[in-house]
Chain A
Amino acid sequence: MEIFGAGLPVLLSQLLIGLVNGSFYAILSLGLAVIFGLLNVINFAHGALFMLGAVLSWMAMNRWGLGYWAMLALAPVAVGLFGMLIERLLLRRIYQLDHLYGLLLTLGLALLIEGGLRSIYGVSGLPFDPPKALAGATDLGFMVLPNYRAWVVVASLAVCLATWYVIEKTPLGALLRAGTENPRLVEAFGINVPLMITLTYGFGAALAAFAGVLAAPVYQVSPLMGQNLIIVVFAVVVIGGMGSILGSILTGLGLGVIEGLTKVFYPEASSTVVFVIMAIVLLVRPAGLFGKDS
């Protein structure tokens, strides 16, 4: 069976790849949005933190014999703690400055982390096998479903929705939402906002690292794996606007799917289609699809 000249299996498998990429876009843009909402800093280091999650997992598996499942829990914790350290020691010093210094600081961090790891591991990918439980594929009849990729989509969605739930529906999330709206007032009401900020950055970092562990068997581990990804995520964030969590998730997934489909029908454009969409959105709806005017 063919749709627009592409066989169904090809279409579906590209769709799945698109969903996988979209899952990463969703998790990363979610983390970026949460951090930006409270700290007003665009975390350029997000790609590096993503990569750290993957590299740590690789190191753990090869040096200390820890398994994938252990790292799925441990890597986010480790990177989250690292993120909190970054916030306390470095980011805190620049809040009173122009926003752009936040971008520059996190850019410097990204270069430092990526460069440092690159000098140790080089640039070629380090192999990373999916865990045995998820290896292989399942035959669904109309397509063969790679198990690991399906897992990535499911796990990402679960984490994104859990994050959405915590932020939108729980008292803890209410603290974050209020702090995002008016941090000084919330602080005057007796809430330890500086701590909240540190924890939020740590959480964003943990989310990125979680995505990194998920991504390791898909992209193979390389110190550069975060770089090009983060730029696309920036475009995703501009397209979606940072106004709503669900918005970030939907935009990320949607763009991943569009990218996947473009690869089937118009492969040369697949690396730039997200940017083209960004240009269109800027013309038509500058605040972003789900954005509130900032």
Chain B
Amino acid sequence: MNQSALKIRDLHAWYGESHVLHGVDMVVNPGEVVTLLGRNGAGRTSTLRAVMGLTSARRGSIRVNGQETIGLPRHRIAHTGIGYCPEERGIFASLSTEENLLLLPALKGMAPGMDLAQIYALFPNLAERRHSPGTRLSGGEQQMLALARILRTGARLLLLDEISEGLAPVIVQALARAIGLLRDTGHTVVLVEQNFHFAAPLSDRFYVMEHGRIIEHFGASQLQAKAVALGELLGV
């Protein structure tokens, strides 16, 4: 089992003329939970967006389970097995909760994900609001919807951008449990998180970004040792 779930080499990305990623190198092994740390504007969200093909241009190598995706058309990237929770959650206002849930297609060539019944069992709030317009849900419910959505597709590699942001502590705890569960069921998770206390206990490894580059990389066991340096780096 030598193939990494996600292997990024020398990734450059642009939004229009703005060069936001300057050669990102990153490896995520299957079954790991990896967190991307860094200040606002460091390029963490841009990295995830670049993987999903949401930047205007990108160059380098992005391999998902060994498959090179840099040259793929945007609509084929997810089908390499990725589930993506964007920072803005991406809940569609003109769709109901259930429509939002059912929107994403099952990924080709993957084992099927959870079915609707299982999702509703896991997230009963969503079942209650299934016919409400997607944006009428509370922040926490929208986040759950965003997460539930990708669990249906059979994606094994999950890219989660700031999922704890702006949510009440009790919901954040629920999310943490959910991620633990995902890891236990063999999913690979990449987190972009400002909330250090949320991400730290869950993660196997950490990458630190600044100015569109990876500047630090260490495992969970070194977390204590790095605490002070991290404090400076993140401006916390």
Contact = CB atoms under 8 A, between A and B. Distances in A.
Interface of A: 171, 174-175, 177-178, 180-182, 184-194
Contacts of A185: 54, 86, 90
Contacts of B92: 177-178, 181-182
Nearest to A180: B94
B104 A174 contact: no
B49 to A, nearest CB: 8
Residue of B74, B76, B86, B104 contacting most chain A CB atoms (<10 Å): B74
Nearest to B155: A190
A194 B75 contact: yes
B57 interface: no
B99 interface: yes
A74 B208 CA distance: 60
Given A178-B92, A178-B94, A181-B94, A187 B99 contact: no
Contacts of B76: 190
A175 B103 contact: yes
A188 B77 contact: yes
B93 interface: yes
A39 to B, nearest CB: 16
B22 to A, nearest CB: 23
Contact of B79 (A178, A184, A190, A194): A190
Contacts of B84: 188-189
B94 A188 contact: no
Nearest to A167: B94
- Majority secondary structure of chain A interface residues (helix, strand, loop or mixed): helix
Given A188-B78, A189-B105, 19 more contacts: A178-B103, A181-B92, A182-B92, A184-B54, A184-B74, A186-B103, A188-B52, A188-B53, A188-B74, A188-B77, A189-B84, A189-B103, A190-B76, A190-B79, A190-B104, A191-B104, A191-B105, A192-B75, A194-B73
B95 interface: yes
Given A178-B95, A185-B86, A190-B153, A171 B75 contact: no
Contacts of A182: 90, 92
Contacts of A175: 103
Interface in B45-65: 52-54
B28 interface: no
A191 B53 CA distance: 13
12 contacts: A175-B103, A177-B92, A178-B103, A181-B93, A184-B54, A185-B90, A188-B75, A189-B105, A190-B79, A190-B107, A190-B153, A192-B75
Contacts of B90: 182, 185
B127 interface: no
B192 to A, nearest CB: 16
A193 to B, nearest CB: 6
A193 B54 CA distance: 14
B54 A190 contact: no
Nearest to B134: A178
A189 B78 contact: yes
B6 to A, nearest CB: 16
Contacts of A181: 92-94
